[in-house]
């Protein structure tokens, strides 16, 4: 298969197999090896691509799909319900009567219901392109028992074309690197089903991938699978991050990192908390001259969180300011 690159047409979504074909190679009544968690909201244009990607997987192990719709009113819930009805042995749907985001988030609500040894994530506006996606990533996890998670490459798409290709080939062997590591979309990851506690201030953590990655990295290395086909991260106007300006993204990342730091400090990991605080300060400074606006947007967190972080890392801040002069 030709390697996909920037400017190429977006890869085609998979076609779902009927349930009886999907499970033909599975052991009868076998426990799912993988639980796929899918969060969706107002994704009526896209959710079928995501679900077809799950149900187009070819594996010799059982898997389950847990999909939560957060009270969409655009037809997404009806599409999810239809898939659950047609795939009763694979798809479990949670259809919320009222929207609860960001106080409640699917990743934290659905993981306790999952039964798999491994867990994979894909949001309702993203999708997988390879019928062997799960089989490839699970094989890597089984071949590397020391690893907590593995990930494949990712392509960003917008308006039917690839706009960016992620290939982070080095992995993470130290959790202290997570705040500084290039982002890995959750749709590219398959992890051991390690409990990921829901922090009290989870509704303030918009960079949720960093919180998950830091939890997994504390349990073991996060390894790349560069030969795997890429997953797809879709950019569109209805997305959480796509419509934001750079300064708004920076504000949310700073906010997220400070609350993640507070969580890890409460857990007794001052070293990891400190790295998230340093990363927040760097992100704030890199946004100059918009720093004042970001500070205003994050005024509560800035006074309570970033201010304290600056005091703890004053020497780092001085060096960073000197570099910006």
Per-residue pLDDT of the chain (325 residues; tens, 9 = 90+): 568 889 999 999 999 999 999 988 887 667 999 999 999 999 999 999 999 999 999 999 999 999 999 999 999 999 999 999 999 999 999 999 999 877 778 888 899 999 999 999 999 999 999 999 999 999 999 999 999 999 999 999 999 999 999 888 889 999 999 999 887 888 999 999 999 998 888 888 888 889 999 999 999 999 999 999 999 999 977 666 666 777 788 888 888 999 999 999 999 999 999 999 999 988 887 776 655 545 545 544 444 555 566 555 544 544 544 454 4
> How much is the pLDDT for 42?
94
- How many Cα atoms are found within 13 Å in the side-chain-facing hemisphere of 199? 26
> How much is the pLDDT for 296?
46
Asked if residues 123 and 80 have their Cβ atoms less than 8 Å apart, the reply is no
Whose tokens are 């400190």? That residue is 274
- Rounded to 5 degrees, what are φ and ψ at 221? -60, 150
State how far the Cα of 174 lies from the Cα of 181, in Å rounded to an integer. Answer: 10
Beta strand residue intervals within the chain, DSSP E: 34-40, 63-69, 91-95, 118-121, 127-128, 149-151, 154-158, 161-166, 189-192, 222-224, 231-234
- Rounded to 5 degrees, what are φ and ψ at 42? 55, 45
- Within 8 A by CB and 6+ apart from 221, the residues are 144, 146, 147, 148, 171, 172, 173
Q: Nearest to residue 151, comparing CAs of 182, 197, 176?
A: 182
Written as six digits, the tokens of 187 are 């749709």
- Within 8 A by CB and 6+ apart from 320, the residues are 281, 282, 285
State how far the Cα of 54 lies from the Cα of 303, in Å rounded to an integer. Answer: 44
Q: In CATH, what number does 19-234 get?
A: 3.90.550.10
Radius of gyration of the chain (CA): 20
Q: Indicate where the chain has its CATH 3.90.550.10 domain(s).
A: 19-234
């Amino acid at each position: 298969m030709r390697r996909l690159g920037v400017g190429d047409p977006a890869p085609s979504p998979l076609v779902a197999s009927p349930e009886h074909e999907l499970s033909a190679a599975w052991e009868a009544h076998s426990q799912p090896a993988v639980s796929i968690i899918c969060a969706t909201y107002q994704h009526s244009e896209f959710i079928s691509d995501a679900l077809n990607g799950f149900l187009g997987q070819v594996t010799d192990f059982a898997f389950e799909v847990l999909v939560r719709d957060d009270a969409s009113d655009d037809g997404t819930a009806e599409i999810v319900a239809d898939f659950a009805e047609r795939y009763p042995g694979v798809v479990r749907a949670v259809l919320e009567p009222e929207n609860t985001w960001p106080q409640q988030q699917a990743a934290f609500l659905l993981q306790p219901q999952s039964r798999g040894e491994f867990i994979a994530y894909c949001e309702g506006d993203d999708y997988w392109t390879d019928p062997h996606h799960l089989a490839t990533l699970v094989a890597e996890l089984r071949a590397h028992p020391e690893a907590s998670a593995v990930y494949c490459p990712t392509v960003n798409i917008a308006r039917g074309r690839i706009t960016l290709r992620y290939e982070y080939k080095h992995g993470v062997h130290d959790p202290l690197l997570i705040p500084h590591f290039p982002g890995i979309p959750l749709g590219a990851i398959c992890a051991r089903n390690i409990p990921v506690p829901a922090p009290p201030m989870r509704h303030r953590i918009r960079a949720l991938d960093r919180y998950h990655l830091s939890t997994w990295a504390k349990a073991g290395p996060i390894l790349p699978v560069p030969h795997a086909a890429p997953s797809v991260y879709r950019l569109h106007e209805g997305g959480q991050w796509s419509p934001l300006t750079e300064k708004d993204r920076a504000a949310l990342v700073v906010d997220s990192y400070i609350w993640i730091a507070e969580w890890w400090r409460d857990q007794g990991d001052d070293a990891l908390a400190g790295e998230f605080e340093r990363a927040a300060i760097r992100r704030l400074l890199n946004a100059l001259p918009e720093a004042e606006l970001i500070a205003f947007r994050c005024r509560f967190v800035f006074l309570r969180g970033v201010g304290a972080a600056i005091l703890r890392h004053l020497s780092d801040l001085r060096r960073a300011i000197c570099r910006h002069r």
